[in-house]
C-alpha cells in the first residue's frame, strides 16, 4: 500500500491521471458512503478514474457546469441511441415514463413526497417557475439580495416592468460576521407590503451558505413566501427539506450532483401547488399536480433518466465524505495563499459550516478578468472572474475529480501573480 500511495502522490498531476478503469465504480461502492479522511488520496484516485475529462486543463470552474462521470454519460448516450431508433415508441412510450422513477429517487434524497418533485432542465427554469408563478399585485414587494444570481434578478426586474411590483435588493458584506447579521439585513427590508423573499441557499459569487431555515421560520408566520435558489447547494453539502423547512426550492443537477447537462428539479410543497402557476400552460385538471411544472413539450428523456445513475454515484461517495473533500481542497489552496501573501484576501468564510467547496479570493490591485485570462493563457487553469459592484475577485470551484496537484498548481500561480505581477 505504501508503494501504491507513493505512486499516486507522485503521478496524479494535472496531466497524469490514471485512465478510467471498468472496476473503478465497483471499488468506490465497496468502500461505502461512511465519512473517511478527506486527504485519503487512494480513495479519491478511484473517484478521479470515474471521469473521462480533459486533464490538459485544470478545471476549477465546476460552479458553472461540471463534467459527468463516464458511466453516467454512457447511460445517457445509450438512451439517446435507443430513442433515435424509433422515437415515437422508444422515447415516448419507453423512456419518458421512467421519469417517475427519477422523481421518486430525487424525492427520497431531498426528503419530500414524490408528488412534490418536478424534474426541470436547470435551476433557472425551476426558479423562474417560482418567480413568474405567484400572483402578485402592483406595489407588492419582493426582497432579494444584490448577490442573487443575475438571471433571477433579471426575472424579477421583468415582473417590475410588467406587473408593477417592487423589487428591493439588500446588501451584506463579505465575509459576513454571522448568520444573524445576514438575517438582520432581510428583516430590516421587510414592510407590510412584503410578499416574497428570494434567497440563494449558497451564493454563486462567494460560496456563502445562507441561513435559509432561520429565514423561513421567521418569514412564514408573517405570511411571506420564501423562494430558495439552491442551484449550487444540492449534492454539494448534505441537507433535507425538513431541515430547511422550505415550501419552494429550485436547483440544477449538472453542477454538484454531476448529472448530465440540462437537468434540475423544482420542489413545491403540496399545499402550495394550487397557487403557483406553471411557466407553460397546463390543463385545469393538473392544478394540484406537480407534473404541470414539467409541461414543456418534448422532454430530454435521456438526460433526465441518467439523473438516477448520477444520484447513485453521489450516494456511493456519501454527502458527508463529499463535502469534507470539497472543503479540504478549498482550504488547501485558500489557506496557503492567505498565509503566504498579504495581497490575497479570502471573501469566503473558512473553518465555518457556512461555506463549502466554493472560494472567492481577491488579489489587491489586480483586475480579476485580467488575472483569469493570464491563468488560462499562461498556465491552462480555468477559474471564474467575479466583478460585483461591491467586491471583486476570482471564484475557485474544484469538484470530486479535482486532484491536490491541480489546486496546488493554482495556489502556486496565484502567489506568483501576487508576487511578480502578470505582465
**Where are the domains positioned within the chain?**
2-68+325-420, 74-313
CATH number belonging to the domain at 2-68+325-420, selected among 3.60.21.10, 3.90.1150.10, 3.30.365.10, 3.20.20.70: 3.90.1150.10
pTM of this prediction?
A: 0.91
Instruction: Provide mean pLDDT across the span 192-208.
Output: 98
- Report residue 413 CA to chain centroid gap: 26
Burial of 318 (0-12, 13-18, 19+ CB in 10 A): middle
Matching residue, cell 422515447? 91
**pLDDT for 67-113, tens place per residue?**
999 999 999 999 999 999 999 999 999 999 999 999 999 999 999 99
Confidence of residue 35 (pLDDT cuts 50, 70, 90): low
Contacts of 250 (CB under 8 A, 6+ apart): 120, 123, 125, 126, 127, 129, 130, 227, 228, 229, 230, 231, 264, 265, 266, 267
Q: Given a cut of 80, is residue 28 above it in pLDDT?
A: no
Contacts of 154 (CB under 8 A, 6+ apart): none
Instruction: Provide mean pLDDT across the span 140-169.
Output: 98
Q: Given a cut of 60, is residue 135 above it in pLDDT?
A: yes
Instruction: Provide mean pLDDT across the span 41-48.
Output: 94
Q: Given a cut of 80, is residue 7 above it in pLDDT?
A: no
Can you give the pLDDT at residue 12? 34
Instruction: Provide mean pLDDT across the span 49-56.
Output: 93
Give the integer Cα–Cα distance in Å for 246 and 32: 30
How high is the mean pLDDT of the chain? 93
Can you give the pLDDT at residue 26? 66
Confidence of residue 216 (pLDDT cuts 50, 70, 90): very high
Q: Given a cut of 50, is residue 10 above it in pLDDT?
A: no
Class of the domain covering 74-313: alpha beta
Cell of 257: 450532483
Instruction: Provide mean pLDDT across the span 317-336.
Output: 97
Instruction: Provide mean pLDDT across the span 107-135.
Output: 98
Confidence of residue 176 (pLDDT cuts 50, 70, 90): very high
**pLDDT for 359-398, tens place per residue?**
999 999 999 999 999 999 999 999 999 999 999 999 999 9
Instruction: Provide mean pLDDT across the span 8-24.
Output: 43
**pLDDT for 252-268, tens place per residue?**
999 999 999 999 999 99
Can you give the pLDDT at residue 14? 38
pLDDT above 70 covers a percentage of the chain that reads 91
Q: Which residue has the higher pLDDT, 195 or 16?
A: 195
Amino acid at each position: 500500500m505504501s508503494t501504491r500511495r507513493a505512486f499516486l502522490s507522485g503521478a496524479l498531476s494535472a496531466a497524469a491521471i490514471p485512465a478510467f478503469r471498468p472496476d473503478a465504480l465497483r471499488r468506490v461502492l465497496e468502500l461505502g458512503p461512511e465519512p473517511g479522511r478527506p486527504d485519503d488520496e487512494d480513495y479519491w484516485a478511484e473517484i478521479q478514474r470515474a471521469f473521462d475529462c480533459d486533464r490538459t486543463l485544470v478545471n476549477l470552474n465546476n460552479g458553472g457546469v461540471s463534467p459527468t462521470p463516464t458511466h453516467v454519460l454512457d447511460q445517457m448516450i445509450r438512451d439517446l441511441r435507443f430513442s433515435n431508433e424509433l422515437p415515437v415508441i422508444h422515447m415516448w412510450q419507453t423512456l419518458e415514463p421512467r421519469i417517475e422513477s427519477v422523481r421518486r429517487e430525487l424525492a427520497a434524497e431531498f426528503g419530500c413526497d414524490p408528488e412534490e418533485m418536478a424534474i426541470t432542465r436547470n435551476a433557472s427554469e425551476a426558479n423562474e417557475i417560482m418567480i413568474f408563478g405567484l400572483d402578485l399585485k402592483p406595489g407588492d414587494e419582493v426582497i432579494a439580495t444584490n448577490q442573487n444570481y443575475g438571471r433571477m434578478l433579471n426575472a424579477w426586474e421583468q415582473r417590475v416592468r410588467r406587473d408593477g411590483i417592487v423589487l428591493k435588493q439588500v446588501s451584506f458584506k463579505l465575509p459576513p460576521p454571522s448568520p444573524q447579521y445576514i438575517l438582520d439585513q432581510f428583516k430590516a427590508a421587510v414592510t407590510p407590503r412584503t410578499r416574497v423573499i428570494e434567497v440563494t441557499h449558497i451564493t454563486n459569487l462567494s460560496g456563502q451558505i445562507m441561513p435559509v431555515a432561520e429565514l423561513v421560520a421567521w418569514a412564514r408566520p408573517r405570511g411571506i413566501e420564501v423562494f430558495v435558489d439552491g442551484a449550487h447547494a444540492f449534492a454539494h453539502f448534505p441537507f433535507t427539506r425538513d431541515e430547511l423547512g422550505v415550501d419552494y426550492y429550485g436547483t440544477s443537477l449538472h453542477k454538484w450532483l454531476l448529472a448530465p447537462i440540462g437537468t434540475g428539479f423544482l420542489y413545491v410543497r403540496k399545499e402550495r401547488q394550487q397557487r403557483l402557476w406553471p411557466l407553460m400552460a397546463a390543463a385545469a385538471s393538473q392544478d394540484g399536480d406537480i407534473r404541470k411544472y414539467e409541461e414543456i413539450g418534448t422532454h430530454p428523456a435521456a438526460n433526465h433518466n441518467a439523473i438516477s445513475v448520477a444520484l447513485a454515484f453521489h450516494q456511493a461517495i456519501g454527502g458527508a465524505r463529499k463535502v469534507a473533500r470539497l472543503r479540504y481542497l478549498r482550504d488547501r489552496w485558500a489557506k496557503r495563499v492567505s498565509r503566504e501573501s498579504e495581497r490575497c484576501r479570502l471573501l469566503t468564510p473558512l473553518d465555518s459550516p457556512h461555506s463549502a467547496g466554493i472560494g472567492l479570493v481577491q488579489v489587491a490591485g489586480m483586475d480579476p478578468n485580467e488575472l483569469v485570462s493570464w491563468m488560462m493563457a499562461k498556465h491552462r487553469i480555468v477559474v471564474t472572474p467575479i466583478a460585483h459592484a461591491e467586491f471583486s475577485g476570482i471564484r475557485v470551484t474544484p469538484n470530486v475529480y479535482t486532484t491536490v496537484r491541480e489546486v496546488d498548481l493554482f495556489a502556486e500561480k496565484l502567489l506568483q501573480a501576487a508576487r511578480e505581477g502578470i505582465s
